[in-house]
Amino acid sequence: MKIKKQWSEFKHCLTRNQHDDKVAFVKSFLKNPKTMGAIYPSSKRLAKIMASYAVFSQNQLIVELGAGTGVITQAMLSRGIPAERIIAIESSPDLVEHFRMHFPKIKVIAGDASHLAELLKNEIRPIGTIISALPLRSLSKEVTERILSAIPAVLTPHGRYIQFTYDLRNNARFYPQQYQLAYKKLVWVNIPPAKVEVYTILPQE
Ligand SMILES: C[S@@+](CC[C@H](N)C(=O)[O-])C[C@H]1O[C@@H](n2cnc3c(N)ncnc32)[C@H](O)[C@@H]1O
């Protein structure tokens, strides 16, 4: 009987937390649709696939861009990646507050990813992976270009950049030449369906 009660309390708490996430996300979307880029958080399936590509060896850090309510962060933790290896960057002050409440052990930096080098200037550990849910196709061209040129400058040579997009077409020219596509995977269980792309960043010639 006691176990049944505890289970029901646990389920209630779980549903409430997921509901909280969705409410926070939709509120932010209504405030700023272009920087959110989606009306709904990523599905657990999409988050799990994104997280499966993150490299966590040799004391390297993983930097998450556009962490939002933390669905991808949670997938990385569930994969066994320690919280101290993750740094989240998020530009929406409301979502930063939401994220801090739900992930107190993860360092979250409130700021714009186009100032990546500045935001990470105090970090001395090597950054092996950047995992991003930034809506690059709906941000301005100028901001997207700044972000894409900032990424190679902070990643270790041959570091990994993981990004999803709702643009399912093959658009090789979207990224600068330094970005070499290593893997891609379509994820249908998401609203809308998405494509995960994993790039190796080649050293500048
Ligand atoms: C599509 S949502 C993804 C949120 C969450 N990671 C997920 O997968 O559900 C994009 C997130 O990127 C954030 N964002 C947009 N532009 C940004 C920028 N220039 N710098 C940092 N975060 C940004 C938004 O506030 C939003 O939380």
Paired sense of beta strands 61-65 and 86-90, if any = parallel
Q: What percent of the chain has pLDDT over 90?
A: 72
Q: How many CB atoms lie within 10 A of CB 29?
A: 18
Q: Is the pLDDT of residue 129 over 50?
A: yes
CA distance 148 to 153: 9
The class level of CATH for 2-201 reads alpha beta
Mean pLDDT of 78-88: 97
- 132 CA to middle of ligand 1, Å? 8
Nearest to 73 by CA among 59, 93, 58, 90: 90
What is the spatial order of strands in the sheet that 194-201 belongs to?
107-110, 86-90, 61-65, 127-132, 155-165, 194-201, 179-187
3-class SS letters over 161-199: EEEEECCCCCCHHHCCCCEEEEEEEEECCCCCCEEEEEE
Q: Is the pLDDT of residue 13 over 50?
A: no
Specify the DSSP element, H or E, that contains 160: strand 155-165
Pocket test for ligand 1, best of 25, 72, 90 (most atoms within 8 A of CB): 90
pLDDT interval class at 20 (50, 70, 90): confident
Specify the DSSP element, H or E, that contains 146: helix 141-154
Domain boundaries, the chain: 2-201
Name the residue at shortest CA distance from atom 4 of ligand 1. Answer: 68
Nearest to 183 by CA among 195, 173, 193: 195
Q: Are 110 and 44 in contact (CB under 8 A)?
A: no
- 1 CA to middle of ligand 1, Å? 43
Q: In this structure, which long-range contacts are made by residues 29-33, counting pairs with CB atoms below 8 Å and at least 24 apart in sequence?
A: 31/92, 31/94, 32/92
Can you give the pLDDT at residue 27? 82
Q: How many CB atoms lie within 10 A of CB 106?
A: 21
36 lines ligand 1 (CB under 6 A): yes
Residue 69 alpha carbon, nearest atom of ligand 1: 5
**Between residues 19 and 137, the one the model is more confident about:** 137
Q: Is the pLDDT of residue 3 over 60?
A: no
Compute and round to an integer the Cα radius of gyration of the chain: 17
The answer to whether the pTM exceeds 0.85 is: yes
